[in-house]
Structure 1
Amino acid sequence: MTTDLVRHYTTNTESIRLARTPHGRLEFLRTQELLRRFLTPPATVLDVGGGTGVHAEWLARDRHRVHLIDIVPAHVDAAATLPGVTAQVGDARQLPFSDSSFDAVLMLGPLYHLTDPADRARALTEARRVLRPEGVLAAAGISRYLSALEAGTNGTLDTNLIPSVETVIATGDYDGHVGFTSTHWHTADELRAEIQAAGLDDVEVYGVEGPAWAALDVAGVEEFPTRMHAALHCARLVEQDPLLINASAHFLAFTRSPSDA
């Protein structure tokens, strides 16, 4: 798994993904918005799987003290050049830090790359361990309905693709059928349950992009400036609506570590 991820992300950085498509740009704006609701600067933030620092960079500008770990050495080298950011190679399942070291832990990618439930549980347990009492965990997931909405909107959903889409909706096992690498995709309830199983209660899950993201992609990058505000309003309106939350491409879950941790 690690070798495949290093190979994939050597040429496919998160910063490129978030800028390339309208829904990526919407995801970036909403991730900033949601994180800023829960993070009060200056906090000591651990960005687990933070890539080249696409989020660490603006968090440092917000006066947070950001330390990033990633499994791709080239990404760590790039992140370490950012002002206010330190970085090292590391694995979400075995964090090289002592207990209660950080005010906040961000897991904006590891959970969907860890396709074994036991590995996701280990990563969440590690996040809880290094959080200070009442520290914030922010954990992202990919919606099981992403490819159904994307392919159904852009015209590529056909009889050949339907079996793979049905599988990911039913099981969360994504086989790479619309690009990307093999991953685990969540429902909002599943993401919440996995975090709770790690001993972290009061989990709030938010839909990041809302239901308009796929239509933004069809409209194209040139239309993004004129359509962005309506899409943002839509995402905010239904960000925790149980009937529409799974229509987002991504989720972002927040919780706090126990005060007596």
Structure 2
Amino acid sequence: MKEIELWYDEKYDEWDRLDRHKIEFDITRRYMDENIIGENLKIFDIGGGPGRYSIYLAEKGHRVSLLDLSKRNIEVAKEKSAERGISLEDYIHGNALELDKYNDLYDVILLMGPLYHLTKESDRRAAIEGALRLLKPNGIIVASFISNYAPIQDYLKAVYPIESVDELLGYLKDGENQGDKGFTTAYFTYYKEAKELMNSFGLTEIVFANVENILGTKEKEVNMLEESEYRKWLEIGYQLSQDESLMGTGEHYLYIGRK
């Protein structure tokens, strides 16, 4: 956990990441708009980084609390929300594995970062259990995973030189990423594993989407398109995002379920 906290505190700008990865951000927000229904909802964003989604939902009138492992991310969230003239309900420096200290109940819980930084299944299950304890009956949980095809897709974006074919393909067998391999400690998952994990908690699956799908390796080119053309490709990506035959083509999986 200290290594992951250090990564986001000192080495990585998570706020700017979603400027570069517009497709991920825009398709995820569309799914939120379609499935987070109601006004003035109470929302807990667990592991929400610097609050890109927290702020988006707060701007729509919801009461959002943000928790993140990184102190820097929390400070950025405070700065960015102030710039927009809003305030989140709470900004918490905390750990997704230590949710037993919280007792409020929420209409919606976002768990969109922790599950791909927890390499042990027991820890992933503990984070989900802790989140669901805080979710109201019939509430909505939104969870994110990094695909075990993501390292291959990332290399393909710029056709980077490959040091080891076996190492790159190895993520398909063992999704664990060590902190000395260009990213902090992480776990990349097969889509069926992610679906089965979430549904094992008795949730009703509403959405399971491969967010970037076929647009992923052309991300830079799509981002540079004139707005009307960008929106056409975004619509194609959205329409294909739940196509099971394309689940290995993107980098992030999005799960939305009802308790």
2:258 aligns to what?
256
- Output the CA distance in 1 between the equivalents of 2:184 and 2:239: 31
Letter in 1 for 2:214: P
1:207 aligns to 2:174 (yes or no):
no
CA-CA distance at 1:92 after TM superposition:
1.1
Identify which range, 203-212 or 245-254, moves more after superposition: 203-212
Contact 1:167 1:174 in 2 (8 A): no
Q: Matched residues in 2 for 1:49 and 1:205: separation?
A: 20
3-state SS of 1:111 partner: helix
Q: Does 1:110 align with 2:114?
A: yes
Per-residue CA deviations over 1:34-76 (Å, capped at 9, x if unaligned) read 1111112321000001122111111100011000111112322
Quote the Cα distance in structure 1 between the aligned partners of 2:47 and 2:198. 17
Q: CA deviation at 1:178?
A: 6.9
CA distance in 2, matches of 1:149, 1:157: 13
Which stretch shifts more, 222-231 or 25-34? 222-231
Alignment of 1:116-135 (within 5 A): 116-135=120-139
8 Å contact from structure 1 (residues 13, 52) kept in 2? no
The reply on whether 1:244 has 2:241 as its aligned counterpart is no
- 1:7-50 CA-to-partner distances (Å, cap 9, x unmatched) read 1101313211111x3xx111111111111111123210000011
Matched residue, 1:30:
27
For structure 2, list consecutive stretches of 5 or more residues without a partner in the other structure.
none
Q: Tell me, yes or no, if the aligned pair for 2:157 and 2:219 is still in contact at 8 Å.
A: no
Q: CA–CA distance in 2 between the matches of 1:215 and 1:176? A: 27
> Does residue 1:5 correspond to 2:7, yes or no?
no
- Tell me how large the CA RMSD over aligned residues is: 2.1
Determine which of 115, 136, 140 is the counterpart of 1:136: 140
Cα distance change on mapping 1:13 and 1:199 into 2, 3 Å: farther
Secondary structure of the residue aligned to 2:97 is coil
Is residue 153–residue 215 contact of structure 1 (8 Å, CA) maintained in 2?
Answer: yes
Q: Using the alignment, how far apart are the partners of 1:164 and 1:154 within structure 2?
A: 18
Percentage of pairs with the same residue: 25
Would you say how many aligned residue pairs link Structure 1 and Structure 2?
250
1:238–1:230 Cα change, 3 Å: same
Equivalence for 2:177: 174
1:210, 1:234 within 8 Å by CA — same for their partners in 2? no
The verdict on how the C-alpha distance between 1:181 and 1:227 changes in structure 2, with shifts beyond 3 A counting, is farther
Which TM-score applies when normalising by structure 2?
0.88
Partner residue of 2:194?
A: 191
Q: Which whole-Å CA distance do the structure 2 matches of 1:39 and 1:133 have between them?
A: 15
Partners of 2:150 and 2:205 in 1: CA distance:
26
Which residue is 1:152 aligned to? 156
CA distance in 2: counterparts of 1:223 and 1:232, whole angstroms: 11
Question: Which residue identity is paired with 2:112?
Answer: L
For the 8 Å contact 1:143–1:188, the answer to whether it is kept is yes
Per the alignment, residue 102 of structure 2 pairs with 97
Change (3 A) 1:224 1:119: farther
Quote how far apart the aligned CAs of 1:224 are. 6.9
In the alignment, the residues of structure 2 paired with residue 180 and residue 133 of structure 1 have an alpha-carbon distance, to the nearest angstrom, of 36
